[in-house]
Amino acid sequence: MGNLHGGHISLIEKARSLAGKDGLVIVTIFVNKIQFEPKEDLKKYPRTIKSDLNHCRKLNVDIVFTPKDQSMYNIKHSTFVREEILSKRMEGNSRPSHFCGVTTVVAKLFNIIQPNTAVFGAKDWQQTTIITRMTNDLNFPVRIVVVPTIREEDGLAMSSRNTYLTPNERTEATILIETINLAKYIVRNRKTPIFRNSLAKKLKKHIATRRLATLDYIEFFNPKTLVPVKQVQRGTHMALAVYLGKTRLIDNGRL
C-alpha cells in the first residue's frame, strides 16, 4: 500500500532475483480502501508516492502500477472474493471485512498484471496463507513466494504504521518481538508440549508489564493450515496483535 520501507524493499529485491536481469518486475502501489474497517486509518494512512517511486527507480523496477480508486472499484462494483475458512480467526476476528478486501484486490491485480510469481512478506503470515489458498482454489497460474520479516535493530517488525507511534509507544513496541522470543524460550526449554492456555497466560502477564501496550489477541496454530493447537511445541506458529496507544501492530514467528 505504499510508504515503502525495508520490508517492501526486500520483496522487490527478491522479485528481481527471481526474475533475473532480463525479467520484468512490477510493483503495485495502491491504498486498498475495501480492506479497511469503517473506523480504521484509511484517511491518514501514509501516502508517499514520490519517495516510493524514487525507491523503485533505484531498485530497477520496470513498472510501477498505481491505479486510482475509480479504476479498481467503479460505482457499480459489486463482486468480491471471499475465503471462508482461514480468514475467520486472528485478524479476521478482529477485522471482519479485512480479508475480503485483501483477496478481492489481489485477485483483481493478478487478473490485470498476469504475473508468473507474486512476492509477499511473512510479517502478514495469515494474509500470505490466505492468498496462497485463494491462488490454488481459483487456479491462478501464479507462484506465491514468501519473504522473511524485516526488522528494525531492536527487533520491531518494519511496518508503515510504525510511523504513527509516539516516542514512548515506539520504545514499548518491542513488546511484540519480546513476547515471541519469550514463547520460543519457554517452548525450547521444555521436554514436553505446553498447553496453549498456560503459555498464553504467561505471555499476557509479560505484555501487561508495558504501560502503553494492550493485547488484542495471541494465537498458536499450525503454520500451513492456521488450525489452532491445544498444545504448543517446537514448530508451532504464533501470532499476536497489540495496541500501542491507538496504533495496532501485528507480528508472528515459528516457535
In terms of DSSP H, where are the helices of the chain? 6-19, 49-58, 69-72, 91-94, 98-113, 125-137, 167-172, 175-188, 196-207
Handedness of CA 132, 134, 8, 246 (dihedral sign): negative
| 176 contacts 242 by C-beta, under 8 angstroms | yes
Instruction: Give the CATH H-level superfamily of domain 6-147.
Output: HUPs (3.40.50.620)
Cell reading at 35: 480492506
CA geometry: angle at 5 spanning 8 and 177, to 5°?
A: 90
Report the pLDDT value the prediction gives residue 45, as an integer from 0 to 100.
Answer: 94
| Distance in angstroms (rounded) separating the CA atoms of residues 96 and 73 | 20
DSSP state, residue 155:
S
pLDDT band at 66 (very low <50, low <70, confident <90, very high): very high
CB 3 within 8 A of CB 47: yes
Handedness of CA 175, 180, 183, 185 (dihedral sign): negative
Report the alpha-carbon distance of residue 163 to residue 188 in Å, rounded.
Answer: 34
What is the distance of C-alpha 61 from the center of its chain? Answer: 22
| 31-43 mean pLDDT | 94
Average pLDDT of the segment spanning 135-141:
98
pLDDT at 12 over 90: yes
Catalytic annotation, residues? 8
Query: What are the cell numbers at 54?
Result: 524514487
CA 130 – CA 169 distance, rounded (Å) = 30
Average pLDDT of the segment spanning 233-242: 98
Residue 229 confidence (pLDDT) above 90: yes
Nearest to 81 by CA among 134, 125, 33: 134
pLDDT, tens only, 169-205: 999 999 999 999 999 999 999 999 999 999 999 999 9
Average pLDDT, the chain: 97
CA distances 230 to 15, 233, 248, Å, are 37, 10, 26
Alpha-carbon gap, residue 217 to 204, rounded angstroms? 10
The pLDDT confidence band at residue 162, using thresholds 50, 70 and 90, is very high
CATH architecture designation of domain 160-254: 2-Layer Sandwich (3.30)
Domain ranges of the chain: 6-147, 160-254
pLDDT per position as a tens digit, 79-123 = 999 999 999 999 999 999 999 999 999 999 999 999 999 999 999
Grid coordinates of 3: 510508504
In the chain, the percentage of residues whose pLDDT exceeds 90 is 99
Determine the pLDDT at residue 39. 87
